Amino acid sequence: MLSISSKCKYGITAVLALAENYGNGLMQIKEIASIKHIPHQYLGQIFNLLVNAGTIKSVRGKKGGYELAFEPSEITILNLIEILEGGVQLTSEICDPANAVDSIFQSTENKLKDYLKINLSEIILMQQEKNKHMMFHI
């Protein structure tokens, strides 16, 4: 089964919170963890990876926190998966173009990567659109 780890899903969710807050100052881990229902300690480990990769910035101190290192439109889901999962790979690095099965998986991998090039700004707009169409029944 092809699946995304909880580390990756939490990381994407947390970075999306930073994207939604972009331009409004720093956010603290405990705030993001609370809003997005992510274990605080786990989020700290995830943010260390993202800081080391240069995707987010960390400011220490009492009024410290985290923010995106780039505009939300410059960060894609594929970027985050590459940092948190090591990439997307359905085939081995040695792919035989004469092998039909290898070709199918290579083609699928390429299409998946293209789809995952969606950036954080686009995802925020998608979420806002979904929120408009939500109906609440009492």
Q: Percent of the chain beyond pLDDT 90?
A: 68
The DSSP symbol for 74 reads G
pLDDT in tens, 11-51: 999 999 999 999 999 999 999 999 999 999 999 999 999 99
Q: How far is CA 79 from CA 27, 34, 44, 99, 117, in A?
A: 21, 25, 19, 29, 8
The structural domains of the chain, with segments of one domain joined by +, span: 6-132
Find the radius of gyration of the CA atoms of the chain. Answer: 17
What pLDDT, on the 0 to 100 scale, is given for residue 23?
94
Which CATH class for the 6-132 domain? mainly alpha
Residue 76, SS3?
Answer: strand
Structure tokens at 47: 């943010």
